[in-house]
Structure 1
Amino acid sequence: MPRNEHDCIGTIEVPDDVLYGVQTYRALQNFRISRIPISHYPMLIRSLAFIKKAAALTNHDLGLLDELPLKGIVAACDEILAGKHLEQFVVDAIQGGAGTSTNMNANEVIANRGLEILGKCKGDYDTIHPNTHVNMSQSTNDVYPTAIRIALIFKIRDLMKAMKYLKAAFAAKGEEFADIIKMGRTQLQDAVPMTLGQEFSSYSVMIGEDIQRLREAQSLVREINLGGTAIGTGLNAHPDYAHKAVDYLIQMTGLPLVMAPNLVEATQDTGAYVQLSGVLKRVAVKLSKICNDLRLLSSGPRCGLNEINLPGMAPGSSIMPGKVNPIIPEVVNQIAFQVIGSDVTVSMACEAGQLELNVMEPVVAFNLFNSLDMLRRGCMTLADKCVRGITANPDVCRSMVEKSIGVVTALNPYIGYEKATQIAHEAMSSNKTVYDIVLEKGYLTKQQLDDILSPANMIAPRHIPNNAR
């Protein structure tokens, strides 16, 4: 049998087998947008439970919440924190109302589950009311952003772990390929020699730099506005509520959360989201550049660079037998495109704030959560299904160095730029090697050439005698 529940709009029949109530039910009817419920982000749901539990304990400490509703609320929150009732969080992740539907979904589930634990019927809101008791001293405008930030911190930590994993995979390849000489390229043209190890080590360093940028962005996210209630003035909250509630949250989550020094500012300012989104775009751009390189270096195998081999993960064509494509770098490229697009959405949503609140936080959270999740999975996939299985083709790499005209750059300090340029042009037109032309013209001896053009002497700075020319 359904139960009748009412709100300021009217009365609705709510199925009796669900824990949510009238306001969640209305949101289900109003917001059929992304078709992705907030339960898709379990960390957000856990964050809401942390906040509701901290609020209940604080209100009880301050003499505002009786023992009976406290018992039901805390027990319900503990079940949610243990991973139960996730299916009851059903509202669409993208919603109007600045997150009110998400907050009320949590309030109603906690109230009704708390009532069941106390042996009472769902909807018996005289004992535990979603607004009066579960939402006591709170507003959506401080609960929802705080929950987003707690969830973001956990997700940032997960992404950093995945990036460290990928960084280590590239570093290992850098060591493995340390002695493989190859041509470096600029603008897709032959440049100067380097080692394949240097190339892969650079990818490791690039990822390491972005881990640090993420750590910096995370430090901004940890500032929360809990206790500010509707606009940051703290209306309907006890003077001691904010500090006590934040202390409880710190104890429960183990996170270094900080109460914002100005809650009015913190309730409307979304700058931390913009900063984080920009860093995620940076990560995406650099990962995509690395994947572009992997695709180029493995191109061929007979008619491309063919300096490395990517592990074959699937047949590459429905018509071309034996073709194997670089599908893992390709999917990471696409993740990057999505994250870059999400950054535009976050920027526009954060700009759209008006006066004391930004009502666009649902789409901000949606995009940040998705970007963090996709980047994390992308890093793990790239490491496990691509980087760790990469092998090198040393003979191909060395052959390209030996045939390259780019090695003439190493002769500049010894024969001068003008002669080196002439040799480069002659090598191009005659199909002779730089080495042979220099010997023919008598610019340098064989012993000098062997020393100057030794691979080991072309991959790092080297002291050049003043009398070299």
Structure 2
Amino acid sequence: MKTREVEMMTDAFRIARDPLGEVKVPKEAYYGAQTQRAVENFPISGQRLPRSFIRAQGIIKASAAKANCEVGALEERVAKAIIQAAEEVIEGKWDDQFVVDAYQAGAGTSQNMNANEVIASRSSEILGGERGDISLVHPNDHVNMAQSTNDTIHAAINIAVAEDIQHRLLGEVDALITVLKEKAETYDNVIKAGRTHLQDAVPIRYSQVFGGYAQSLAYARDNIHGCLDYLYEIGLGGNAVGTGINAHPDYARKAVSDVARRTQLPFRLPKDRFSFMQNTGAAVRVSHALKELAIHLIKISSDLRLLSSGPRTGLAEIRLPAVQPGSSIMPGKVNPVIPENMYMICAQVIGNDTVVTTAACESQLEINAMMPVIGYNVLNSVTLLGNGIKVFRERCVTGLEVDRDQCAYWLERSTALATVLNPYMGYERASQIAKKAYQQGKTVREVVVEERLLTEEEAERILNPEHLV
């Protein structure tokens, strides 16, 4: 007969037991001995796996209990209590009870047991028992039935990442794309000096600049969206190594079906459960796709910083919204803080991908022991990008303005306008004109007219910016 896990020790603690012996656990905690050991073993960062991951764990435990009940492996009253407790976890009611550091070990066994213990303890309360009582609902025998850390943590990563991408990231990317397209339409008639290698280049419309930004983000968005299909494969029922030991033959299908119902996303069994158990391929693909998005955002934010440089000694073609003073010593200075923030976020996302890549290399034989840090970093990237893009759009891109006069000023002085003369007088002669214009501080138009290479009318027609874009 199972004994009670709890004995009163002091007003602050109780004694909990696991296969290694006795552990002091905070009296009011829903978690038990194995979670407490992890707290003591991994005092690393103070960071936890995020709300979306805890929600995913709750979804898995509820779906597992329902499936086990339907196949006759779990008593109905116990299953109902577990489902109710798990749904409270899904809702975020017990987030403060998920206390294991993100930098843990053992493929996430501590994280899995944290969920098992919390749900078991709460289920016991629902059935009329006391907090910490495992005689009514056992964390391993009941909450973890037909499961292993190896399939549930991996599945939780996929569920959490898929939900966060669908509900937190893709919409923000789409909203930014929409604003960039609106800017392209607004400034379609503004022609600016192009620049390559930070040197004068042929003209370009601002609609083409903003349109290029929008399309680069659309490509990155489509790439991320394409990764979702890999995330939708979850190997619940694989248990320890993929064989499904101790699980009813119908358990996996029923559990995954309920996950899909709860999330309203098309989760399904993997084509090959052993491949799923051995690798974290979907998370790796997503991380790489998030890095690509970050690279495009760095380019856009860096461009806006450069194009808004000044206001008197830089390019000053774009005016960004002033959101805060820029200096503690220089009065009136306003810095491009939102694009700078976007760059820092993206730098972290690129770093996160390096962690994910390195950790993914640790897949050995039937499992990857580094799953917690993989999940933490991918979810961190999704959160950073979703929040960062929203701020970037709302507090920078939406309110930016193009200075038409400044664009005309630089365009008229660009030596690259000599490029359009190539068909009329050849590359060599056009190069001489560009060089002379630069040395004498004149425009290309002024030089060709002064040297009578073109008449005023011809210069006006040939060098008309509208004809060059």
Q: Tell me the CA shift for residue 241 of structure 1.
A: 1.1
Q: Tell me the CA shift for residue 284 of structure 1.
A: 0.9
Distance 2:87 2:439 in 1: 77
Match of 2:71 among 62, 71, 77: 62
Q: Tell me the CA shift for residue 16 of structure 1.
A: 2.6
1:368 matched residue in structure 2: 378
Q: Tell me the CA shift for residue 210 of structure 1.
A: 0.7
Match of 1:141 among 130, 138, 150: 150
Match of 1:100 among 104, 109, 115: 109
Q: Tell me the CA shift for residue 439 of structure 1.
A: 2.1
Distance 2:67 2:268 in 1: 17
Q: Does 1:400 align with 2:410?
A: yes
1:110 matched residue in structure 2: 119
Alignment of structure 1 residues 344-363 onto 2, 5 Å: 344-363=354-373
Is the Cα contact below 8 Å between 1:77 and 1:110 reproduced in 2? Answer: yes
1:388 matched residue in structure 2: 398
Q: Which residue type is aligned with residue 37 of structure 2?
A: R
Q: Tell me the CA shift for residue 443 of structure 1.
A: 2.8
Distance 1:71 1:435 in 2: 83
Q: Which residue type is aligned with residue 299 of structure 1?
A: S
Q: Does 1:12 align with 2:17?
A: no
Distance 1:123 1:400 in 2: 73
TM score, norm. by length of structure 1: 0.95
Is the Cα contact below 8 Å between 1:69 and 1:128 reproduced in 2? Answer: yes
Q: Which residue type is aligned with residue 373 of structure 1?
A: T
Distance 2:429 2:229 in 1: 56
Q: Tell me the CA shift for residue 287 of structure 1.
A: 0.5
Alignment of structure 1 residues 274-289 onto 2, 5 Å: 274-289=284-299
Q: Does 1:28 align with 2:43?
A: no
2:309 matched residue in structure 1: 299
- SS of 2:106's equivalent in the other structure is coil
Alignment of structure 1 residues 66-81 onto 2, 5 Å: 66-81=75-90
Q: Which residue type is aligned with residue 341 of structure 1?
A: G
Distance 2:53 2:312 in 1: 50
- SS of 2:183's equivalent in the other structure is helix
Is the Cα contact below 8 Å between 2:158 and 2:283 reproduced in 1? Answer: no
Q: Tell me the CA shift for residue 250 of structure 1.
A: 1.1
Q: Tell me the CA shift for residue 437 of structure 1.
A: 2.0
When the two structures are aligned, how many residues end up with a matched partner? 457
Q: Does 1:326 align with 2:336?
A: yes
1:192 matched residue in structure 2: 202
Distance 1:357 1:202 in 2: 42
Structure 2 gaps of 5+ residues are 1-10
Q: Does 1:440 align with 2:450?
A: yes
Is the Cα contact below 8 Å between 1:169 and 1:387 reproduced in 2? Answer: yes
CA distances 1:109-144 after superposition (whole Å, capped 9, x unpaired): 111111111111123322110000000000010011
Match of 1:163 among 173, 195, 211: 173
2:8 matched residue in structure 1: none
Distance 1:277 1:259 in 2: 22
Q: Which residue type is aligned with residue 110 of structure 1?
A: I
Distance 1:403 1:338 in 2: 39
CA distances 1:206-233 after superposition (whole Å, capped 9, x unpaired): 1111100101122212111111000111
Match of 2:236 among 211, 226, 229: 226
Distance 1:26 1:260 in 2: 34
- SS of 1:376's equivalent in the other structure is helix
Q: Which residue type is aligned with residue 16 of structure 1?
A: K
Q: Which residue type is aligned with residue 26 of structure 2?
A: P
Distance 2:104 2:85 in 1: 25
Distance 1:247 1:275 in 2: 24
Q: Which residue type is aligned with residue 266 of structure 1?
A: F
TM score, norm. by length of structure 2: 0.95
1:466 matched residue in structure 2: none
Q: Which residue type is aligned with residue 140 of structure 1?
A: T
Q: Tell me the CA shift for residue 440 of structure 1.
A: 2.9
Q: Does 1:49 align with 2:66?
A: no
2:14 matched residue in structure 1: 3
Distance 2:87 2:443 in 1: 74
Is the Cα contact below 8 Å between 1:3 and 1:123 reproduced in 2? Answer: no
Q: Tell me the CA shift for residue 145 of structure 1.
A: 0.6
Distance 1:263 1:392 in 2: 54
Structure 1 gaps of 5+ residues are 460-469
Is the Cα contact below 8 Å between 2:31 and 2:132 reproduced in 1? Answer: no
Distance 1:218 1:82 in 2: 24
Q: Which residue type is aligned with residue 63 of structure 1?
A: G
Match of 1:312 among 322, 331, 343: 322
2:388 matched residue in structure 1: 378
2:7 matched residue in structure 1: none
CA distances 1:156-209 after superposition (whole Å, capped 9, x unpaired): 122111111111121111112111121010000010111222212211111111
Is the Cα contact below 8 Å between 1:408 and 1:420 reproduced in 2? Answer: yes
Is the Cα contact below 8 Å between 1:28 and 1:90 reproduced in 2? Answer: yes
Runs of 4 or more off by more than 4 Å in structure 1? none
Match of 1:426 among 436, 448, 456: 436
Q: What is the aligned-residue identity percentage? A: 46
Distance 1:369 1:173 in 2: 31
